[in-house]
Amino acid sequence: MNATVLNPRVGRAILTAFLFFVALGLPAASLRAQTSPSTVITPAAAPASSTPAPANAAPAKNADPFRLNIGLEGTSQSGQVSVAVQIVIVMTLLSVAPSIVLLMTTFTRIVIVLGFVRTALGTPSAPSNQIVVGLSLFLTFFLMGPVFDRVQKESLNPFLDGKITSTQALDQAAGPLKEFMLKQTRTRDLEYFLELGGFGPTAVKDLPIRVVIPAFVISELQTAFQMGFLIFLPFLVIDFLVSSVLMALGMMMMPPVTIALPLKLLLFVLVDGWHLVVKSLVQSFVT
Residue 29: is its pLDDT beyond 80? no
All residues at 6 or more sequence positions from 194 whose CB lies less than 8 Å from its CB, including other chains: 202, 207, 211
Residue 268: is its pLDDT beyond 70? yes
Q: How far is residue 180's CA from residue 144's CA, in Å, rounded to a whole number?
A: 9
Mean local confidence (pLDDT), 185-189: 89
**Residue bearing the bigger pLDDT, 277 or 203:** 277
Residue 32: is its pLDDT beyond 70? no
User: Positive or negative, the Cα torsion across 74, 76, 78, 83?
Assistant: positive
Residue 33: is its pLDDT beyond 70? no
If you count them, how many residues does the chain have? 287
* Residue 229 · residue 194 · CB < 8 Å: no
**Residue bearing the bigger pLDDT, 259 or 17:** 259
Query: CB neighbours (10 Å) of residue 255?
Result: 11
pLDDT per residue over 203-231, tens digit each? 777 788 888 888 999 999 999 999 999 99
* Predicted confidence band of residue 111 (pLDDT cuts 50, 70, 90): very high
* Predicted confidence band of residue 252 (pLDDT cuts 50, 70, 90): confident
Nearest Cα residue to 153 out of 129, 165, 169: 169
Q: Residue 267 CA to chain centroid, in angstroms?
A: 40
Q: According to the model, what pLDDT value does residue 196 have?
A: 85
Choice among 64-73, 129-138, 164-173 with the minimum mean pLDDT: 64-73
Residue 38: is its pLDDT beyond 50? no
Question: Percentages helix, strand, coil for the chain, rounded to the nearest 5?
Answer: 70, 0, 30
Q: According to the model, what pLDDT value does residue 271 have?
A: 87
Choice among 2-6, 89-93, 115-119 with the minimum mean pLDDT: 2-6
% of residues, the chain, pLDDT over 90: 9
Nearest Cα residue to 281 out of 114, 100, 101: 114
CA atoms within 13 A on the CB side of 124: 1
Query: CB neighbours (10 Å) of residue 140?
Result: 20
**Residue bearing the bigger pLDDT, 234 or 61:** 234
All residues at 6 or more sequence positions from 63 whose CB lies less than 8 Å from its CB, including other chains: none
Q: According to the model, what pLDDT value does residue 27 have?
A: 43
Q: How far is residue 285's CA from residue 287's CA, in Å, rounded to a whole number?
A: 6
Q: Is the peptide bond before 54 cis (omega within 30 degrees of 0)?
A: no
Nearest Cα residue to 140 out of 112, 117, 119, 162: 112
Choice among 9-18, 26-35, 162-171 with the minimum mean pLDDT: 26-35
Q: According to the model, what pLDDT value does residue 9 have?
A: 57
**Residue bearing the bigger pLDDT, 201 or 56:** 201
Mean local confidence (pLDDT), 7-23: 52
Mean local confidence (pLDDT), 19-47: 43
